[in-house]
């Protein structure tokens, strides 16, 4: 077992789970959480009134649908959805995404519903 600080290996962390739309927390930064999520299909339209939300695509392609147009992200690209902006993530293929947002942020924001998941810690 390595001693001292250990970096987070994203490929390793993504290999540890298969559930879709179920965020996993892999690190913390002040009151923020670094979350990993695998997505495929369409999520729900929602907004986060209190916070911005950063999406960074690691593998695959992600479309962030916005009411005034779509943002399409490929590997290595990120987009910040401003607080209060309604959005709906969509992925035609399985896509690995890193999220940066306050730790208490609920994935479905103001929409709630059956897709709501609390981020689980991933060791």
Give the domain ranges of the chain: 10-104
Q: How far apart are CA 98 and CA 24, in angstroms?
A: 10
Alpha carbon of residue 20 to chain centroid: 11
Measured from the Cβ of residue 92, the count of other Cβ atoms closer than 10 Å reads 12
In the structure, what pLDDT confidence band is assigned to residue 2 with cuts at 50, 70 and 90? low
pLDDT over 60 at 1, yes or no? no
Reference 8, options 98, 117, 119; nearest CA is 98
Q: How far apart are CA 48 and CA 3, in angstroms?
A: 39
pLDDT in tens, 17-76: 999 999 999 999 999 999 999 999 999 999 999 999 999 999 999 999 999 999 999 999
Which pLDDT belongs to residue 118? 83
- What one-character DSSP code corresponds to residue 59? E
Q: Alpha carbon of 45 to those of 49, 85, 110, 122: distances in Å?
A: 13, 10, 9, 26
The CATH number for 10-104, chosen from 2.60.120.10, 1.10.8.60, 2.60.120.1140, 3.30.390.10, is 2.60.120.10
């Amino acid at each position: 077992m390595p001693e001292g600080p250990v970096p987070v290996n994203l490929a390793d962390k993504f290999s540890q789970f298969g559930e879709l739309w179920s965020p996993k927390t892999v690190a913390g930064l002040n009151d923020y959480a670094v979350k990993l999520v695998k997505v495929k299909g369409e999520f729900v339209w929602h907004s986060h009134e209190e916070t911005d939300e950063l999406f960074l695509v690691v593998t695959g392609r992600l479309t962030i649908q916005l009411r005034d147009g779509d943002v399409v992200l490929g590997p290595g690209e990120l987009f910040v959805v401003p607080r209060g902006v309604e959005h709906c993530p969509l992925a035609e293929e399985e896509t690995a995404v890193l999220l940066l947002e306050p730790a208490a942020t609920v994935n479905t924001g103001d929409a709630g519903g059956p897709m709501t998941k609390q981020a689980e810690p991933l060791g």
